[in-house]
Amino acid sequence: MHLIIFGAPGAGKGTQAELLKSKAAVAHISTGEILRDAVKRETPLGVKAKAIMEKGELVPDELVVGIMKDALQDPKSDNGFILDGFPRTVPQAESLVEVFKEMNIDDVVLLVLDAKDDALVDRLTNRRACKECGKIFSLAEVEGKSECPSCGAKNSFYQRDDDKEDVIRNRLEVYRKSTKPVLDYFADKADVVTVDAMRPIDEVAKEVNEKLKLG
């Protein structure tokens, strides 16, 4: 599987990537996760990315292209990959297509998760994650619980710094201006599959599986 999951902030890219990973043993490459880890560890990359991410802007292309190349060339990606959050600009997409050519990858599927802004703001303001296992939840799933339903860690839920409403609205604007044009770029370079992501998670997953012929 050589898959790019594409969609606005909150469309469900991370959620669907995790579900897909249980069907196909491939690497899940989330540039957002890699950057958040770098920020947490205060690496040189993290120091550069922190303020940009807190505002909901995009980290410069040259930094994220390097992350993407390292991840695709890692042996963990030998069985395939799910790219989540990359590419986000046309120059990133151009670099990616070059890497695909170098790696002789010509069977890329671009899965578009289509959802409306109001639902996205609502989902993101209500998103929580476990800081131990990284699993993503909605507030309704964990409200009042002290243990993570996935790994059992105690008091481990947190809200992302960029999940505040004003930052979310900026992320949506950045998506419209800089990221949506990537779709046109890929129209003749990948098999583009669109799924209505306004339905419940399991229904979205079912259609994703059908459209990707995963049974």
Which of 36, 50, 88, 128 is flagged as catalytic? 88
Footprint of ligand AP5 (CB under 6 A): 7, 9-15, 31-32, 35, 52-53, 56-59, 64, 85-86, 88, 92, 123-124, 127, 136-138, 162, 171, 197, 200-201, 204
Confirm whether 41 is a catalytic residue: no
Whether residue 30 contacts residue 135, with contact meaning beta carbons closer than 8 Å, is answered with no
Q: Which is nearer to ligand AP5, 122 or 147 (CB)?
A: 122
Burial level of 183, CB count in 10 A (0-12/13-18/19+)? middle
Q: In the complex, what is the shortest distance from the CB of residue 185 to ligand AP5, in angstroms, rounded to a whole number?
A: 14
State how far the Cα of 47 lies from the Cα of 50, in Å rounded to an integer. Answer: 6
Backbone phi, then psi, for 140, in 5-degree steps? -60, -30
Confirm whether 127 is a catalytic residue: yes
Which of 69, 160, 164, 211 is flagged as catalytic? 160
Confirm whether 36 is a catalytic residue: no
Q: Which is nearer to ligand AP5, 1 or 38 (CB)?
A: 38
Which of 36, 123, 128, 171 is flagged as catalytic? 171
What's the maximum distance between 2 C-alpha atoms anywhere in the chain?
A: 50
Q: Which is nearer to ligand AP5, 104 or 111 (CB)?
A: 111
Cis omega (within 30 of 0) on the bond before 149? Answer: no
Confirm whether 13 is a catalytic residue: yes
Whether residue 37 contacts residue 53, with contact meaning beta carbons closer than 8 Å, is answered with no
Confirm whether 171 is a catalytic residue: yes
State how far the Cα of 212 lies from the Cα of 3, in Å rounded to an integer. Answer: 10
Q: Which is nearer to ligand AP5, 88 or 104 (CB)?
A: 88
Residues annotated as part of the active site: 13, 88, 127, 160, 171
